Structures are given as C-alpha cells and as structure tokens.
Amino acid sequence: MKFIILGCGSSMGVPRPDGFFGNCDPNNKKNYRTRCSALIKTTDENILIDTSPDLRQQLLRHKIKKINKVLFSHMHGDQTHGINDLRSFYINSRKQIDVYADKFTSIHLKHSFSYIFKSYSKEYPATLKLNKLPKYLLTKNKNKNVRIKSIVVKHGKVKSNCFIIDKKLAYISDVSKIYSKDYKYFKNLKYLIIDCLWYNFHPSHFNLETSLDVIKQFKPKKAILTNLSPVLDYKALKQILPKNVIPAHDGLSINL
C-alpha cells in the first residue's frame, strides 16, 4: 500500500500563477508545488483525497488510470476545484464514482458543481455520487481490511477533516487546531503529514512553530510538512528541521 503526496503547495501553489516564487529557489525542483491532494493506493483501490485545481497534472504525472473513491477534507477551492477532472474516469467505467464529504462540504459541492451530481441530459449524465463522509471508511489491501478514519479539526472559520490510514499515517493538510479529545488517535503514528503554511501566525493554518509543537507532542516516527507557501524554501526549511521532520515535495511516496 502506498500513500502519495500529489501536491504540497498552499492555496496559490509555488510559484503562484503570477510567477511569484517568494523565498523559494526556482532551481530546486522540490520548490515547484501544486495544490494539496493525496492518493491512497492499495492492491484493490485508488482513493483520492481532495481534488485540487492541479488534479489533471497530478494524475498524469503518476499515470493514475482509475479512481475508485474520493474523500474531501473541506470545501475550500484549493481542495475542490479540480473535481471536473474526475469525468474521464466516469467515461472509462460508466459508473458514478463515490465521493465522500461532510455536510458543509456537500452543500458547497452541490451548489457549485450541480451538473456533476445531477443528470441534465443523456449526453451529460451525473458522473459522481455524493455520500456522507463516514467516521471509518473500509478498503482492502491484499485481502486485508484497511480502515481510514476521519477526524474533524478546526481550520480557521471552517471545519476540516483529517484522515488516519490503518492507524499508521495521519494526513492533515489544513488545520489550525486539533481538539484534545482526539489526541489519542494521533499519538505514536509512523507518519504524520501536517499543515505548515509559513513562519508567522495564520488564523487558519499551523505555522512552523505550531507544527513542530504538535510533532513533539504526538511523537510520530517521521513527520512531513505540507501546504507549504512560497515563504518556505525547501532547502532552507530542511536545514532547520529536527532529524525526524522533512518538508514535503510533490510526488513524495510512502510505503505503508
């Protein structure tokens, strides 16, 4: 089973659409960051987390030929606006793809992308089926059950969902607070992939200081910082991180 970070950039990516690289060295490939999406690849299924606006490019880069399910963390544009690119997988299978979202995200998706969930004509049928995000989603890897647990976290003024795969890896791309009642699920994981926007305070995201505090508290074997803005140059950031913490880069793949 694999967990692939398809994109690790903040909402406008690095470089931004206007070419702005901030502190990032354009000569380092690891500083080219598409918007946050991830893929859980088991022997049986490809499960996508979020549909970033860069989804097409990400799927092509990894030669992804099927998508079985999609989990949405929250409703922001950098997590949802690539949703239309799932259409090609519907055309291949002629079966609506199951997508899972919480109540608020579902309302947003139905409002913004109604044509995707409702058949308007024979030529343009609904391509996705919207389901309520469950507390646990089951998939299989080599005939073994794999549990994907979703946990609600605070993300500024909205709620976001983090996903814990097989009690081994937690993925939290957008978070400003983890509720103390859920701390037990995050302790001593193998991998913690966590939001780290930049150095300064931000009301909707962890910054370097808060991310490192959380890593210290939960003690994963390895932590990976994601949702990185142009403020954070890969090499400069890596040099100041503790040994068990690394910055993410697009395409980073983890064997589980």
Nearer to Zn ion, 166 or 174 (CB): 174
Vertex 133: Cα angle to 187 and 8 (nearest 5): 60
Is 222 in contact with 190 (CB distance < 8 Å)?
yes
Site membership for Zn ion, residue 174 (CB under 5 A): yes
Nearer to Zn ion, 85 or 174 (CB): 174
Binding mask of the shown chain, residues 73 to 102, with x at each position contacting Zn ion by CB under 5 A: ---x--------------------------
Residue length of the chain: 256
Q: How far is the CB of 74 from Zn ion (least distance, A)?
A: 6
Tell me which residue of 250, 198, 186 sits closest to 223, measured CA to CA: 186
Stretch that binds Zn ion, among 30-38, 89-97, 172-180, 246-254 (CB under 5 A): 172-180
How far does Cα 186 stand from its chain's mean position?
Answer: 17
How many residues of this chain bind Zn ion (CB under 5 A)? Answer: 2
Which tokens belong to 184?
Answer: 């037990």
Stretch that binds Zn ion, among 26-34, 44-52, 55-63, 170-178 (CB under 5 A): 170-178
Site membership for Zn ion, residue 195 (CB under 5 A): no
Q: How far is the CB of 152 from Zn ion (least distance, A)?
A: 14
Consecutive H or E run containing 90? helix 87-93
Question: Hey, what amino acid is at 82?
Answer: G
